Amino acid sequence: MARRRSVAVMSDARPFYVAGAATTSPDVAEVLHPYDGSLAGAHHVPTADDVARAIDAADAVRGRFAATSASQRAAALDHVAARLAGQAEVVAHLITAENGKPLRWARAEAHRAASTFRWAAEEARRFGGELQRLDTDTGSEGRAALVRRFPRGPVLGIAPFNFPLNLVAHKVAPALAVGAPIVVKPAPATPLSALLLGELLAETDLPEGAWSVLPVGNDAAPGLAADPRLPVISFTGSEQVGFAIQAAHPRKHVTLELGGNAAAVVCADWEDLAQTAERIATFGNYQGGQSCVSVQRVLIDASRYDELAARIVAAVADLPTGSPWDEATVVGPLIDEAAAIRVAEWVDEAVAAGARVLTGGRRDGATYAPTVLADVPADARVCREEVFGPVMVLERVDSIDDAFARVNDSRFGLQTGVFTHDLRIAHRAHRELEVGGVVIGDVPSYRADQMPYGGIKASGVGREGLRSAMEDYTYEKVLVLPDVL
């Protein structure tokens, strides 16, 4: 969480970045550690004039940046990847300090962010075009078409708190890879990792205005989104805010990575229940459950239900929960106490409607104990909405038809895990499940940063993953050439 105050001088406050230049202001915000409220760091807060200068610079450089060579952009991205990898432990500690996620998950995020920039550098080098022959129809003899992609223009990237570095990277890296200037607004609760990324970008030779990092409050977002000089908006966050942005700006190119209530389907043919229980327990509660693809619903074939349910409950109960600085901790706090209170209210509401708490169900400040529920009414919010906390619901299903119908009976459609050895079921899941991704033999929480990632329905539009985001940030332009074949 963040707390703002005006000070004359605060020497250890991090600067923000306007057009690639470190910048300070009289206004400083303190970032507090979610677990114990200690000071995690501080940063200068941009003024309205700083924001205006950042957008001016992005607009001014759009043509020059688009014309830079792939080698120049790739070299900058490679530099950031190497610097992140070289100081991964420092980066991980900063992520834990501001976000509260246990060090094991912060380390994973730091390494993933380095990989994200490395992939962007590789994609920048091979992001070419296509030559199409046009003489397949009479009247087009001797003609060919060169199809290339060009930046739509400057990008506004709005990032969430749950992955304060890697989800910023997933906006910045593909934009820089295609030569699109980007203005980044990190989450107010977790701006420090984005500002560290700014430090590394400042070491590159990207042109002035190619990027800015503006840790402003959420009240500044509508003005940023409305600016016509930012024709592309990439937003990751809540469904309500994301679709409001899309509705307010129908003429802009808006990509949305929103919520989910991810399901894991365990089929009758699946036998390795011990490892499955461990995977489901861990990835229903990692990041404090604050991941769009945390396991929230577990749909278990009736023939496997009793044994697997018992194993899941035991595995969840054994998850080390507590201080994120403890190397053994798997489950840390939520982003703030208000988030934990909301989760507790949803669980209490389900219990009042008849649900049983098999383990957990307790709150201590911003920490909510990893919780497993059963006999939950289908219309309870812990089933229908995104809990975004360490809570999962177990459900008994009678068939694949039943399981897939329940997966699809949701406003959301991000990812689903299907535990099966049957290739026919795997292909059926790919064909029938209304989600953006299906993971066979594992939890829906799996994500490789280079793959297309995103959802349908209330889970959003567009795709992350370097190549996919690069395509989202660009448009196709055709050049028809005579006498080339």
Domains delineated in the chain: 2-253+462-478 (3.40.605.10), 263-449 (3.40.309.10)
In whole angstroms, give the CA distance from residue 239 to residue 363.
26
Please state, in angstroms and rounded to a whole number, the distance separating the CA atoms of residues 211 and 21: 9
Tens digits of per-residue pLDDT, 289-323?
999 999 999 999 999 999 999 999 999 999 999 99
pLDDT in tens, 78-128: 999 999 999 999 999 999 999 999 999 999 999 999 999 999 999 999 999
Q: How many residues does the chain have?
A: 485
User: What is the structure's pLDDT at 485?
Assistant: 60
User: Residue 2 — very low, low, confident or very high, per pLDDT cuts 50/70/90?
Assistant: low
Phi, psi of 177 (to 5 degrees): -65, -35
Share of the chain above pLDDT 70, in %: 97
Q: Are 5 and 30 in contact (CB under 8 A)?
A: yes
pTM: 0.95
Which of 51-55, 135-139, 227-231, 369-373 has the least mean pLDDT?
135-139
CA distance linking residue 259 with residue 381, whole number of Å: 14
Percent of the chain with pLDDT over 90: 96
Cα 167 from Cα 102, distance rounded (Å): 17
Q: What integer pLDDT is reported at residue 6 of this predicted model?
A: 42
Residue 432 annotated as catalytic: no
Asked if pLDDT for residue 354 goes beyond 80, the answer is: yes
Give the H or E element holding residue 211. Answer: strand 211-213
The sign one gets for the Cα dihedral 40, 42, 48, 52 is: negative
Assess contact for 100 and 34: CB atoms under 8 A: yes
Half-sphere exposure (Cβ direction) of 335: Cα atoms closer than 13 Å? 19
Per-position DSSP letters for 408-422, written without gaps between them: HSSSEESEEEEE-S-
| Identified catalytic residue from 122, 123, 267, 292 | 292
Enter the tokens of residue 88.
Answer: 């991964």
Tokens of 233: 């908006």
Mean pLDDT throughout 388-411? 98
Q: What is the pLDDT, as a whole number, of residue 4?
A: 47
Query: Is the dihedral angle over the CA atoms 400, 454, 94, 51 positive or is it negative?
Result: negative
Q: Which of 122, 239, 257, 464 is catalytic?
A: 257
| Per-residue pLDDT tens over the stretch 414-429 | 999 999 999 999 999 9
272, pLDDT greater than 60: yes
Torsion of CA 52, 188, 169, 172, to 10 degrees: -10
- Residue 337's identity, in one-letter code, is E
Active site residue 267: no
Cross-strand partners of 28: 5, 44
Average pLDDT, stretch 443-464? 97
Residue 284: what pLDDT? 98
Quote the pLDDT of residue 483. 77
- Give the C-alpha separation, 388 to 236, whole Å: 14
Helix or strand holding residue 143 (H, E)? strand 143-151
